[in-house]
Structure 1
Amino acid sequence: MRAKGRINFGLALVATLAVAWSLTGSIARAQQINGVPGSPSSTVTLDGKQLPPPPIPFGGVIKETAKDSTPWWPPRVVPPKGAPNVLLIMTDDQGYGVSGTFGGVIPTPAMDRIANAGLRYTEFHSTALCSPTRAALITGRNHHSVGYGVIGELSTGYPGYDSIIGPEDATIGTILRDNGYATSWFGKDHNIPSFQYSEAGPFDQWPVGMGFQYFYGFLGGETDQWTPYLYRNTTPVFPWIGKPGYNLTTDMADDAIKYMSGLNAAAPDKPFFVYYVPGGTHSPHQPTKEWIDKFKGKFDMGWEKLREQIFANQKRLGVIPADTQLTPWPDGQAAYGGAKLPRWDSLSLLQKKLYAREAEVFAAYAAYTDYEIGRVIQEVQDEGKLDNTLIIYISGDNGTSAEGTLEGTYNQMTAYNGILTLPLAAQMLHYTDWGSDKTYPHMSVAWSWAFDTPFKWTKQVASHFGGTRQGMAISWPGHITDVGGIRAQFHHVIDIVPTILEATGIKAPDLVNGIKQKPIEGVSMAYTFDKANANARSKHDTQYFEMVGNRAIYHDGWIASTTPPA
């Protein structure tokens, strides 16, 4: 009798819960369940207001015997019908004049592929620095709004500068995951507080704690590409041990391809969101020798001639207006730590040889990175998913880095520790192994300035477009109706999240884990996909820029900016 009493009590409890659910509003009533309700294959698409959604009560029948009972499974959450896969790519420390896609002399055929199948955006912007741009990119909110007014290593513990992305600022990873996407992150994660870089956690600020179900990459600003500091999810891994010739740039593409292939084999209809952010071309510049050899002698003309060549290419491609004037070379103003950039003809033959080598290695790293990105894109095609994949490829998270000193260095750690000048003889000892596992190199500021053509200044400087203007290409077959076109509407990294949400048909949530969400501050760029809107007015009409005191404000085609201190 006691057993029967427990069964009856259980039935009464189920009935009570069912009544309570009907009184508070059923998600099943508000959102259509697809397939046979209660079957393991049934699905539901969310209204997006609350993530994760409230649990659906048991909808089957429980009797005293199994034969008189009916099993029931809650429906599996899936995105809206036809929602695309999303591949979001961003390289590191590459200004507007780096990629061949935007007039640079470095071939970037993978980016060309996306641009030729979609659109090039010529007025797209970053925050001028790594962590802040990345925080803005994955949240759709300005960098100060999500704790990244500066890089995490310089966090101060004050609002806007504490290096914490709060629970009120759910990432695109969380939003897409909770709406049924498979989410993953490959490469650089510069959005974990530096005091949480360990297996002890907590892990709420790690990719796996911010909506990304799989992570393979490194923490912080950079890592050695030959012997990287890597994690798989939250476990340190050392894939380079016992593998001569190992390089992270290739390994990361291999891992992404393996992940995507496995996902396709297990659940071919499950849409994916892959966030692919390699370390190239942040220092250390460490491509393989075969890539370095491709650029031998390509920069013997010097940095001023390089600027002229990039500038001419940009006009030819139409990625700058035909009447653009090239900004003057900064030999009449402070450009780096109070110093002025030298003219190429003022250098000795030995200096020219060293500096040309620095640029060769940087270019090789950029081209190598793009090549491996191309392999990831090819995997999407090989799986037959290219026609239903939104691909966003951003060249750089800020302008080209000027952190390599006026001379460049075979070991970036010298500059980080305040050693800004090295004897030329010591530098030349590393000429032949520049970029190998025996060096940790960066290049001269003058090259960085040139690779930001046609703009002034470099990474870190938010007041000028040399620090904030990024080349970007977007493709989405069947949805972009002006294939190969150019878009000159003003946009910013905070616009990527709302663009993805509009493309997928998913709404920004009001609540995530019971916490009210702050508004997304970006605007969708999807209106630019239509050929009829090629010259439409930008929907992003005002944007501020600020980084370590360098600041500017854009409004409706005009920009007011401060002058960086000498």
Structure 2
Amino acid sequence: MYIRLSLAGLGLLFLLSLIPKEQPVVASKKPNIVLIMVDDMGWSDIGCYGGEITTPNIDRLAKGGLRFKQIYNTGRCCPTRASLLTGLYPHQAGIGQMAEDPERPEDFHWGTPGYQGYLNRNCVTLAEVLKTNGYRTYMTGKWHVGMHGEEKLPRQRGFDRYYGIPAGATSYLRPQGGRSVWLDNQKLDPPTDPNYYTTDAFTDRGIEFLKAQETDDPFFWYLAYNAPHWPLHAKHQDIEKFKDTYQVGWDKIRQQRLDRQIKMGLIDPKWGFSERDSRVRPWEKLSQAEKDTVAYRMAVYAAQVYAVDYNVGKVLDYLESKKLMDNTMIIFLADNGACAENYHELGSAPFSRINDPNFSGAVSYGIGWANASNTPFFEYKVKPYEGGIATPMIVHSPRLPKNRQGKFTNQIGHLIDFMPTLVEASGATYPATFHGGQTITPMQGKSLMGVIEQDKPLDREYLFWEHQTYCAVRKGDYKMVKKIEEPAWQLFDLNNDRTERHNIAAQNPELVQEMGQKWQEWADTHQVFPKKLK
């Protein structure tokens, strides 16, 4: 008997040795899901994408996860959130332009289906779908997909608990008025704690929600930081860490980031830098007073990113303390590229507005630093060039094989892929009807689980963008961009020129015609038109 058992054991060991090492690890139960999104952060700001800003916790996530080189957002805060939450192009969800403003909601109610300014009832959110499969659902942070009317708030769109700002930008130090913090469906008074800071509050309250969960049901936590979106608000001790870092200027910082990106294999050295923004002078042309003020603005911005990082550390530490890391899928990304608003070289709003707790407007770091934040890409938030729509993204998943941890993937994805990805990962079912029998628009994306597990390309030919005055389409390595009212497209070969320096449209008229026609067909069937009723 002893010999037979030993032979059987040897046979089992032999069979196990035949299993390919790249086989994915299959989670034994429904995974918890933590979806972390930052606001207006550039592609190269964090350490694991080439930045000098201290981000050891996000880097730790990357070391055990998979980094994506070619994941796309929609180029702006609220359309991105609409697409991320629903798995649809933003126009299909009702937010092709902007979400409702706290003071002037009518400005974004355009009277057409694609531009109503809040999520419609023909879409479902990730929370609504995951709840049907037994998930507890939590959200903390920036909502920005509708706020006038209780039916538009997170609790009414599938989240069991909510703490955050229904509006877009707010004060980090004292949210108030139409940009106040809400708990569930209740608007809160401005915080009186002198140490209050939204980045901390969104993290801490989310962890409180998890601690209060009395069942072992899987959970979905959407943690949507408002950082590092303007206004420039940061803790003084965090600013101190970076107060001398940026005196070297944006040209040197940009070169250092590019060098690190090339060394880590993130970008192809043949791409080089994107074209210099004509509104930005070389650093040595600035006066010393200009250098001092704008270097400080960048130090505050870096401190905002740094605060995100140590709060991500709180999330990881909590999950580890509860032994949940091995069954939790964590995704980290940005909602759009770096923000150059309000398009001044040295930053917008008076210097005195920095860290003013009663100011929630665009006190920002300027075009020069936004250009550095997006190293090496062209343009910024809003426009569908790579600097506007490329996002850093890390996926840390129980189903990521060990030999792929810490690696990059070059597979192409988009926010519309999040719904099918999380549906597959969770075992949930995407509904055909919801909201009392309303017909639900089918998912537009593809699951990224094959990319995560096996680096398998997605079976998709085209991706599309439209926002404000610009539109874009990508087919394989080719991407076209233009202003909507202008006839001529720009065409770029992103494999050889991802910094979009060389327009090859004139050499490829048939491809331009084909891709332009496909974009028009998409726009005509996805509520892009009509844009606005007169």
TM bracket, shorter-chain basis: 0.7 to 0.9
Counterpart contact for 2:433–2:439, Cα < 8 Å: yes
2:482 is aligned with 1:544: no
Change (3 A) 1:565 1:456: farther
Corresponding residue number in structure 2 for 1:379 = 318
Question: How far is the alpha carbon of 1:409 from its aligned partner?
Answer: 5.0
- TM-score for the superposition, normalised by structure 1: 0.75
The amino acid across from 1:539 in the alignment is D
Question: How far is the alpha carbon of 1:109 from its aligned partner?
Answer: 2.1
Question: How far is the alpha carbon of 1:239 from its aligned partner?
Answer: 6.3
How far apart are the structure 2 equivalents of 1:467 and 1:324? 17
Corresponding residue number in structure 2 for 1:518 = 441
* CA deviations over 1:130-158 (Å, ceiling 9, x no partner): 00000000000001111111111434121
The amino acid across from 2:159 in the alignment is F
* CA deviations over 1:503-558 (Å, ceiling 9, x no partner): 1112211222322221100111000122xx33x43334311111112111001121
Question: How far is the alpha carbon of 1:437 from its aligned partner?
Answer: 3.2
Counterpart contact for 1:355–1:407, Cα < 8 Å: no
Corresponding residue number in structure 2 for 1:246 = 196
How far apart are the structure 1 equivalents of 2:421 and 2:189? 36
Corresponding residue number in structure 2 for 1:398 = 336
How far apart are the structure 2 equivalents of 1:563 and 1:190? 26
Question: How far is the alpha carbon of 1:83 from its aligned partner?
Answer: 0.9
Q: Secondary structure in 2 aligned to 1:204?
A: helix
Counterpart contact for 1:355–1:443, Cα < 8 Å: yes
- TM-score for the superposition, normalised by structure 2: 0.80
How far apart are the structure 1 equivalents of 2:283 and 2:466? 32
| Equivalent residue pairs, number | 445
Q: Secondary structure in 1 aligned to 2:248?
A: coil
Question: How far is the alpha carbon of 1:308 from its aligned partner?
Answer: 0.8
Change (3 A) 1:170 1:310: same
Question: How far is the alpha carbon of 1:325 from its aligned partner?
Answer: 1.6
How far apart are the structure 2 equivalents of 1:547 and 1:344? 32
Corresponding residue number in structure 2 for 1:559 = 479
Counterpart contact for 2:280–2:345, Cα < 8 Å: no
Corresponding residue number in structure 1 for 2:386 = 465
How far apart are the structure 2 equivalents of 1:106 and 1:564? 37
2:96 is aligned with 1:157: no
Change (3 A) 1:371 1:239: farther
The amino acid across from 2:203 in the alignment is A
Question: How far is the alpha carbon of 1:205 from its aligned partner?
Answer: 1.4
Corresponding residue number in structure 2 for 1:262 = 212
Corresponding residue number in structure 1 for 2:401 = 480
How far apart are the structure 2 equivalents of 1:539 and 1:382? 39
Corresponding residue number in structure 2 for 1:414 = none
* CA deviations over 1:480-525 (Å, ceiling 9, x no partner): 3411111111111111111111111122112223222211001110
How far apart are the structure 2 equivalents of 1:438 and 1:217? 17
Which contiguous aligned blocks of 4+ residues in structure 1 show a shift greater than 6 angstroms? 563-566
How far apart are the structure 2 equivalents of 1:84 and 1:390? 6
How far apart are the structure 2 equivalents of 1:322 and 1:220? 40
Q: Secondary structure in 1 aligned to 2:267?
A: coil
Counterpart contact for 2:469–2:483, Cα < 8 Å: no
Counterpart contact for 1:133–1:398, Cα < 8 Å: yes
Counterpart contact for 2:174–2:358, Cα < 8 Å: no
Change (3 A) 1:473 1:494: same
Counterpart contact for 1:108–1:371, Cα < 8 Å: yes
Aligned partner of 1:85 among 4, 8, 32: 32
Identity %: 29
2:261 is aligned with 1:314: yes
How far apart are the structure 1 equivalents of 2:461 and 2:262? 25
The amino acid across from 2:366 in the alignment is S
The amino acid across from 2:136 in the alignment is A
Q: Secondary structure in 2 aligned to 1:250?
A: helix
Counterpart contact for 1:181–1:270, Cα < 8 Å: yes
Corresponding residue number in structure 2 for 1:451 = 373
Question: How far is the alpha carbon of 1:101 from its aligned partner?
Answer: 1.6
Aligned partner of 2:56 among 84, 87, 109: 109
Between stretches 135-144 and 444-453, larger displacement belongs to 444-453
Corresponding residue number in structure 1 for 2:308 = 369
Counterpart contact for 1:173–1:210, Cα < 8 Å: yes
How far apart are the structure 2 equivalents of 1:233 and 1:293? 35
Corresponding residue number in structure 2 for 1:25 = none
2:447 is aligned with 1:497: no
Matches within 5 A, 1:433-452: 434-435=354-355, 437=357, 441-452=363-374
Matches within 5 A, 1:7-22: none
How far apart are the structure 2 equivalents of 1:438 and 1:407? 25
How far apart are the structure 2 equivalents of 1:180 and 1:558? 41
2:244 is aligned with 1:297: yes
Counterpart contact for 1:449–1:457, Cα < 8 Å: yes
Aligned partner of 1:128 among 48, 66, 75: 75
* CA deviations over 1:70-91 (Å, ceiling 9, x no partner): xxxxxxxxxx971100000000
Counterpart contact for 2:432–2:439, Cα < 8 Å: yes
How far apart are the structure 2 equivalents of 1:192 and 1:123? 29
The amino acid across from 2:393 in the alignment is M
The amino acid across from 1:254 in the alignment is D
The amino acid across from 1:528 in the alignment is V
* CA deviations over 1:176-212 (Å, ceiling 9, x no partner): 112211001100010015xx1xxxx3x2211011101
* CA deviations over 1:27-74 (Å, ceiling 9, x no partner): xxxxxxxxxxxxxxxxxxxxxxxxxxxxxxxxxxxxxxxxxxxxxxxx
The amino acid across from 1:355 in the alignment is V
How far apart are the structure 1 equivalents of 2:276 and 2:188? 45
How far apart are the structure 2 equivalents of 1:175 and 1:438? 38
How far apart are the structure 2 equivalents of 1:540 and 1:276? 29
Q: Secondary structure in 1 aligned to 2:315?
A: helix
Question: How far is the alpha carbon of 1:107 from its aligned partner?
Answer: 2.0
Counterpart contact for 2:411–2:457, Cα < 8 Å: yes
Counterpart contact for 1:410–1:434, Cα < 8 Å: no
How far apart are the structure 1 equivalents of 2:266 and 2:371? 18
2:95 is aligned with 1:148: yes
Which structure 1 segments of 5+ residues have no match? Answer: 1-79, 332-339, 412-421
Question: How far is the alpha carbon of 1:298 from its aligned partner?
Answer: 0.5
Which has more radius of gyration? Answer: 1
Question: How far is the alpha carbon of 1:478 from its aligned partner?
Answer: 4.6
The amino acid across from 1:461 in the alignment is K
What value does the CA root-mean-square deviation take over the aligned residues? 2.0
Matches within 5 A, 1:273-352: 273-331=220-278, 340-352=279-291
Aligned partner of 1:181 among 110, 135, 143: 135
Corresponding residue number in structure 1 for 2:452 = 529
Which structure 2 segments of 5+ residues have no match? Answer: 1-26, 102-107, 487-534
The amino acid across from 1:537 in the alignment is P
Question: How far is the alpha carbon of 1:317 from its aligned partner?
Answer: 1.5
Counterpart contact for 2:450–2:457, Cα < 8 Å: no
How far apart are the structure 2 equivalents of 1:163 and 1:191? 7
Counterpart contact for 2:290–2:346, Cα < 8 Å: no
How far apart are the structure 2 equivalents of 1:555 and 1:166? 29
